[in-house]
Structure 1
Amino acid sequence: MDIQSFALGFAGGAAFVGNVWIWTHIKIFLNARKRFMADVKRGLHVDVVA
């Protein structure tokens, strides 16, 4: 296996894992923001840790 095809395979795998990780955290962040905005509307100021 030459170094170029290995690098391409590694980059492809890393991109796939990265996309899954990013989408998971976007969903977590959006849910956390929704809860945070609801708390702010109730007058509570809560630190959100995502």
Structure 2
Amino acid sequence: MDVDVTDSGDRWQIGSETTVRQTDYKITPYSQMFGAMKVADEVTVTFDAEYRKP
């Protein structure tokens, strides 16, 4: 997983994004109403944070 770090003067901006398959972790993708509504097996996980410099 790649992590992006940006120096924005008074703070650091940190972010990352990756796609995972739920079935790789033995998770059954969510389904409701007998399969009429489903969540895809692939899910994108995004992380964004800011750290204020001392």
TM-score (norm 1): 0.23
Write 1 or 2 for the structure with the bigger share of helix. 1
Instruction: Return the index of the structure with the highest Cα Rg.
Output: 1
Write 1 or 2 for the structure with the bigger share of strand. 2
TM-score (norm 2): 0.23
* Structure with bigger RCO (C-alpha 8 Å, 6+ apart): 2
